Amino acid sequence: MSKKVVIAFEGIEGSGKTFHINYVSNYLKKKKISHIKLREPGGSKNSEKIRKLILNNKSNFKKNTDLLLYLAARSENIEYLKKFYKKKIILLDRFTDSTIAYQHYGMGVNLTILKKINNYLLKNFKVDFTFLNIVSKNNMKKRLHQRKKLNRYDKFKDNFYKKVQNGFLKIAKRKKSTYQIINSNLSIKLNKEIIINKIDKLIK
């Protein structure tokens, strides 16, 4: 029987996190291992409504409004996630560390306030392990250029993504034992192997 862990995939736009979470989900399906996969913002019905608002290219929110919208989406998700906590493997395409990296390190939102609201929402729910996907500026731009449609968060200036990725790396440094950095500039095949090897150990 597999361990019922919570695994997050983090990273900036074009870093490959969504590709890898989908690959892991398909891997677990083939092994007939029960799990759920959820993205942020979005996931649950009401969170998807908030996602459309946040990522809409016509939206132009203040940084604190952005934060509260993300946390509102998480509030909807967490009630759903708690039903499966310790009962199924949970795969998350972004979670709390994205909020810290984007809203605090990227936009300058007060970290204490951010953490207080997060802790209030999460209570005993916690992520067991995180894969942080990092990517070079050139590769990020190339991958975003290949997307059919870009949302509001795909269109920030290069310096913003640099601050966010550096923020992620600071978080990873503080959480060394529960973080693995995946260099998305390397071959996809290599990264798949690295991630699956770690997944097998986490759920054993």
Q: Does residue 1 register a pLDDT over 80? A: no
| Distance of alpha carbon 134 from alpha carbon 184, whole angstroms | 6
User: What is the pLDDT at residue 140?
Assistant: 95
User: What is the pLDDT at residue 149?
Assistant: 86
Confidence label for 151 from pLDDT (cuts 50, 70 and 90): confident
Q: What is the mean pLDDT of residues 77-97?
A: 96
The DSSP secondary structure of 85-139, one letter per residue, reads: TTTSEEEEES-HHHHIIIIIIIT---HHHHHHHHHHHHTT---SEEEEEE--HHH
Work out the mean pLDDT of the chain and round it to a whole number: 95
Residue 86 carries which side chain, given as an amino acid letter?
A: K
Q: Which fold has domain 6-203?
A: Rossmann fold (3.40.50)
| Distance of alpha carbon 11 from alpha carbon 161, whole angstroms | 10
| Distance of alpha carbon 155 from alpha carbon 167, whole angstroms | 19
pTM summary value: 0.94
Residue 96 carries which side chain, given as an amino acid letter?
A: T
User: What is the pLDDT at residue 136?
Assistant: 97
Q: What is the mean pLDDT of residues 149-160?
A: 91
Q: Does residue 148 register a pLDDT over 90? A: no
Hey, where are the domains in the chain? 6-203
Percent of the chain at pLDDT > 90 equals 90
User: What is the pLDDT at residue 2?
Assistant: 85
User: What is the pLDDT at residue 39?
Assistant: 96
Q: What is the pLDDT of residues 27-69, one digit of tens each?
A: 999 999 999 999 999 998 999 999 999 999 888 899 999 999 9
